[in-house]
Structure 1
Amino acid sequence: MDNKISIAIPDAVQKQVLTKLTELKGLLAPYLIALTPQQRQAILKMGDRSQPFVDKSLEYAQRNPNLLPSFLNLAEWKKDSAGRKQLTDMHYVLAELGSNVADTNMQCGSEAYNQALLFYNSVKLAAKNNVPDAKVIAEELGKRFNLRAAPQQPPVS
C-alpha cells in the first residue's frame, strides 16, 4: 500500500486557520452577495477574453461622455469594473488554496478509507474463522455496505 500523504495539522494551527478564514469571511461579508442557481444561469458572464473589451469600453466612455446613453451610470460602471478586478485577485488566491485543500482532503480520505477497507476485509476473514469478537465487528462495519432495496414503482398502465 502506497501512503502518499502523512499529515497531522496541530490543533493550534487548525484553530488559527479557521479563525482567520472566519475573519476574512466577516471582512468581505458587506461586499459579497449570493446568487440562486437560476440567477447564476441567467446572468451575463464576463470571462478573461471579455475583460479587455470592458476596459477599452470604459476608457472610451470616460473620454467621450457625449456618447454615453442617459440611462448608463458611469460611476457605477467604474465601481463594478474596479470591484471585479479586486475580487478576481482574491478569487485566484482562494481558488489555489481551495484546490490544494480539496486535493489534500481527498488524498487523506482515500487513504483512510482504504485502510478501513483493509481492516474490514481482515475482520470478515477472521469472522469466517470464528475468531472471538470478529463476527460482531464485521456485522457492525458491514452495515455501511447494506443497500436497501429501492422501492418498487407500480407499473404504469
Structure 2
Amino acid sequence: MPSNRIDAVFTTEQREKAQAALATLAEALPFLINLSTEERAAMPKFGEMNRSFVVKALAVAEAHPEILPASLSLAEFRADVELVEDIYPLHHAVQTLLRKVDDTYFAAGSEAYAAALLVYQYAKVHNVGTGALEETLDDLGRRFARRARKVAAPG
C-alpha cells in the first residue's frame, strides 16, 4: 500500500466543536455576502496584487478629493478599503485553514482510493475460477465503465 500521509480519526466531539466554531464565526460576520458566478465574472478582479494598489489609490483620493467625480463617494471608497484591510488577516487565516482541510481530505481520500483499487484487484484475482464475487465485482466495476459517446447523425 502507498505511503500513509494521514492517520487520524475525526471524532464526533471534534466534528461538533468544529461545526460550532464555524457557526460562531458565521454569526460574528453577519455582513458576509454570496455572489453568483455571473456577478463575480462581471466584477473587476481583486487579489493580493491589487490590494496595495487600492490602498495607494485611496491615499491619492484623500489627498486630492478635487480630482474625483461627484459620482465617486470617497466615504464609500474608504469604507470598502477599510473592510478589505480589516478582513484581510481573517481571510488569510481561513484560506490557510481551508488549504489544510483540502489537503487532509485529498490525502485521506487518495489513500482510501488506492486501498480500494487494491481490494478491487485482489477481488478480481480471487474471483477467478470461483465466481463468488461476480455481483460485487460488477458493482465495483461500474466505476470504470466507459460511457458511450454520442455519434452525430449524418446530415
Bin the TM-score by the shorter chain. 0.7 to 0.9
- Residue 136 of structure 1 deviates from its aligned partner by 2.8
* Matched residue, 1:136: 135
- Structure 2 gap ranges (5+): none
Q: Distance in 1 between matches of 2:146 and 2:52?
A: 54
The residue aligned with 2:82 is: 82
Shift of 1:40: 2.0
When residues 48 and 3 of structure 1 are mapped into structure 2, their CA distance, relative to the original with a 3 A threshold, is closer
How far has the Cα of 1:31 moved from its partner? 1.4
Q: CA deviation at 1:104?
A: 0.9
TM-score (norm 1): 0.83
Partner of 2:92, secondary structure, is helix
Deviation at 1:34, TM superposition (A): 2.3
Structure 2 residue matching 1:34: 3-state secondary structure: coil
Question: What is the count of residue pairs matched by the alignment?
Answer: 154
Q: 1:122 and 2:122 equivalent? A: yes
Q: What residue number does 1:48 align with?
A: 48
Partner of 1:95: 95
Q: How far off its partner does 1:98 sit? A: 0.8
Q: CA deviation at 1:80?
A: 0.4
SS in 1 for 2:97: helix
Structure of greater relative contact order (alpha carbons < 8 Å, 6+ residues apart): 2
Structure 1 residues 137 and 78 mapped into 2: Cα distance closer, same or farther (>3 Å)?
Answer: same
How far is the alpha carbon of 1:110 from its aligned partner?
0.8
Match of 2:10 in 1: 9
Gaps of 5+ in 1: none
Distance 1:144 1:50 in 2: 44
Q: Determine what percentage of the aligned residue pairs are the same residue.
A: 32
Q: Does the C-alpha gap of structure 1 residues 22 and 137 become closer, same or farther in structure 2, counting only changes over 3 Å?
A: same
The 4+ residue runs of structure 1 with deviation greater than 4 A are none
Amino acid at match of 1:146: A
CA RMSD after TM alignment: 2.1
